[in-house]
A and B are shown apart, each in its own frame.
Chain A
């Protein structure tokens, strides 16, 4: 049995408190009116000069995505207030977007682990059963993390904040494209779908964990194992549909004028690799504390291979999406990447280095994949890279060029990191770390590659 050390508990509580304070400060320091924005921008004089020039370009780039879709381009007449109002909305969105990104990021880790867990069952993998309890503990975050995300989604879907443009009736009234999509993109449908997705995922999680525990007590005939196998297969079918729709709802609808067919897969690859990386990191941590004596470096090697392979898979999808849109250069599609390349150059291309080049070179060598510190280093890089990936998907549509990784962003990450650690390590104490009833457990203990 794992016992949660007081230091870890204290550490996670401190993270939550610090994150919460920082986030409240982030919300408190957002400007409330155009006048405050003007003041703020005047105090950054050198900065303001640069902004004036880019007004026209900005209006073009954001045309359609914001309230200023029909703002006339003749600068003299409207530039002043329309521009400041635009900036005001971006700045007001900033802490909300930071909160949303962090909430989604940690939720997607738990979801990625859940998908990985189900695949291990459906594939009857012989190497991974010793890691099942670690995976079950990580998926415990689905419930609290999902609830928080659900509340944020509900607030946004009903326009308490301005995260989703399509939720703003004023925008929709002037936007024929969003009107055409309002059959799907409306607050009620949005919430109902979110409830179905999360309900299904959490339901699978609860039953899978329950069966796994029961299999420990009653391994005769593998009754519970077989049930687990069946619901895992069913869950995977449900998951691949809901995950795809989830990515349209929760990520792609930030840019309601834009669409991409492989987007669901792209989001999936990101969450899958983050989930696997988290399994590897927590396994290495627990092993270093002496809790997983049956895990050997071949298990780590296998996890690292998955991290390596799925990182490349993610890059493949990223590039397929980018290159097809770049190549054909259709204006209605390509604005998505133009805003990102113009305003987010460093995060947009930096994430490619973190998510592709780095794991490619670090994790290619078979010997390196057995070294804990190598896997940890690559893992931290991959997780940071995928945080920035989500950042790149959400921020351009919500805060535009007013982005910055500052107080709100870091605080939100700390808040959810603390919660994540607290829930996951708390869940680890609930059951023995070896799923001893699993029919493959012996093979897994002797797994050697």
Chain B
């Protein structure tokens, strides 16, 4: 499927923020915004839904804690409860203080790593991935807003975007 989009380039993040707000007010659909660095408040201006990454991290942490408890309960208490230096291996709770450092570390380990992997998967990032950058300048000092033209007059939209302070407006044939 091929669709036509307009790329509007900006040189300043304040201008970009303003343009995003104006474009949304004019009921044009913003496909994507490319910036060289995080622009504070851009997600709110674009109306993006808040991330749920923290929730996944909490759940992964719970998994990690469960893994740690199950593992040490099996190894130290159930499978071979040896007397190691007089530590009470009769039940998990009796010897628990000795297990806490591992419980803590595994909780953090699971929460951190699985969250990072979730992030990579959700944002489709991996080694050898084809870069999706539409214009190399957006990694340096330009900001790019991609606006969908479907159902709109291209001429009118280009004019509107130029008026928002774009330094460059171009019509792009997008193949996906």
Chain A residues with a Cβ under 8 A of chain B: 319, 322-323, 326-327, 329, 364, 366
Contacts and interface: CB of A to CB of B under 8 A. Distances in A.
A341 to B, nearest CB: 12
A237 B100 CA distance: 33
A326 B95 CA distance: 10
B97 A329 contact: no
Contacts of A319: 97, 100
Interface of B is mostly: helix
A319 B98 CA distance: 11
Nearest to B86: A329
A65 B58 CA distance: 46
12 contacts: A319-B97, A319-B100, A322-B97, A323-B97, A323-B98, A323-B100, A326-B97, A327-B97, A327-B98, A329-B86, A364-B58, A366-B54
Interface residues of B, number: 6
Contacts of B86: 329
A323 B97 CA distance: 6
B87 to A, nearest CB: 8
A264 B68 CA distance: 32
Contacts of B98: 323, 327
B68 to A, nearest CB: 16
A323 B99 CA distance: 10
Contacts of A364: 58
Contacts of A327: 97-98
Closest 9 CB pairs of A and B: A323-B97, A326-B97, A327-B98, A319-B100, A323-B100, A327-B97, A322-B97, A364-B58, A329-B86
Contacts of A366: 54
A322 B101 CA distance: 13
Nearest to B54: A366
A84 to B, nearest CB: 35
Contacts of A322: 97
Interface string B92-110: 0000011010000000000
Interface string B50-93: 00001000100000000000000000000000000010000000
A326 B58 CA distance: 30
A318 to B, nearest CB: 11
B88 to A, nearest CB: 10
Given A322-B97, A323-B100, 4 more contacts: A319-B100, A323-B97, A326-B97, A366-B54
A364 B97 CA distance: 24
A328 to B, nearest CB: 10
A222 to B, nearest CB: 28
